[in-house]
Amino acid sequence: MDLLGKEYTISFYNRSLSMHGDYPEAVNWTPEGQRLRFETMLKIDGEMSGKKVLDYGCGKGDFYQFLKRRNIAVSYSGFDINEMLVSVARKKFPECDFRVFDIDENELDDEFDYIFLSGVYNLKIEGLVETAQRSLSRLFKRCRVALAFNALSSHERKKDTVLQYFHPSEMFDFAVNNLSPYVSLFHDYVPCDFTLFVRRNSL
């Protein structure tokens, strides 16, 4: 993503946070939609307690809050390019490692058992599919067990002009050909949204 795209993304969510406050709408989700997406993410493993987790594009730490409410204790890190969102997350959850981080500019030295990307690439920006694929490649190199990625599906008929829609089959093919042969695709939890699980090894 170029500098203009990053600035647009940051300003979009700054405005949204100022408008909605600490609610899912601040990161462009409905409460129910966010819950269903997070629940789908949990299918990556029946038991994540004690694992080291990276929430890439963590926003204000909603996924960590979701895990905490379900008594799933993990070693959690949350990275995001938006300093305002990260600041909110740090105040709410000082026990976590929240960082302002840009994978195009910063080196990822740590390794994680699981890496999650939920709603990270939802705004329509030129070259975003390539940006997402490049980020997934870099992140998966630091992933010991599995990576989860969700996005809006191109099968949506009434597309919003400000949102980015990915072709699920294209992202599946990318993952199989470039990341791992062990890939699962889910397209059945909310209308026109999909989740990919990319694993190091077979189940």
pLDDT tens, position by position, 26-50: 999 999 999 999 999 999 998 899 9
Nearest to 120 by CA among 143, 102, 105: 102
Count Cβ neighbours within 10 Å for each residue of 112-136 and write b for 16 or more, e otherwise.
Answer: bbbbbbbbbbbbbbeebbebbbebb
Q: What SS3 state is found at 166? A: strand
- Residue 175: pLDDT band (50, 70, 90) is very high
Q: Is the pLDDT of residue 98 over 90?
A: yes
Domains, the chain, in order of start with CATH, read 3-199 (3.40.50.150)
Confidence (pLDDT) at 36: 96
Percent of the chain with pLDDT over 70: 100
pLDDT tens, position by position, 129-172: 999 999 999 999 999 999 999 999 999 999 999 999 999 999 99
From CA 78, how far away is CA 58, in angstroms rounded?
5
pTM, entire model: 0.96
Residue in the block written with tokens 């599906």: 153
Strands in the chain per DSSP E? 52-56, 75-80, 97-100, 112-118, 143-152, 182-186, 193-199
Nearest to 175 by CA among 189, 155, 156, 194: 194
